Amino acid sequence: MSKEQEELQQITMVDENGKEEVYDVLFTFKSEDFGKSYILIYPAGKDEDEEVNIEAYALPDGDDPTDPQGGNLKTIDTDEEWEMIESVFNTLTKNND
């Protein structure tokens, strides 16, 4: 196992049918503009070259984005939040190319 794989943070999500799925955390960040912290995740166990669906959620109020503890993740409700998240994602992924 590579060092990068060992450092991946994972969370478990439970769907509406009670099925548990493990996700890798891509990154978390805090937005001062919206007063919230966000988490971007994707299904665990995917190969590097495999296309994945990245999901974004707001962390529960008071959850530290540097060490999220879980709880009920909140859906993103506004277009403005989605635009901000997309901008942050694009900025961070460009820097990793």
Kindly tell me if the per-residue pLDDT of 16 is higher than 60: yes
Predicted pLDDT of residue 95: 62
- Identify the pLDDT of residue 81: 95
9-17: average pLDDT:
86
3-state SS track over 27-73: EEEEECCCCEEEEEEEECCCCCCCCCCCEEEECCCCCCCCCCCCCCC
Q: Could you report the per-residue pLDDT of 46-85, keeping only the tens digit for each?
A: 777 788 889 999 988 777 666 666 668 899 989 999 999 9
Give the pTM: 0.79
Predicted confidence (pLDDT) at residue 4 exceeds the cutoff of 60: no
Task: Please name every residue paired with 87 in a beta bridge, in sequence order, or none if there are none.
Answer: none
The per-residue pLDDT for 49 is 77
Q: Which residues fall within 8 angstroms of residue 65, CB to CB, at 6 or more apart?
A: 28, 29, 30, 37, 38, 39, 59
Task: Please state, in angstroms and as integers, the Cα–Cα distance from residue 40 to each residue in 1, 10, 31, 85, following that order.
Answer: 23, 11, 13, 9
Could you state, in order of their start, the residue ranges of all structural domains in the chain?
3-95
Share of the chain above pLDDT 90, in %: 39
- Could you tell me which residue, 12 or 80, shows the higher pLDDT? 80
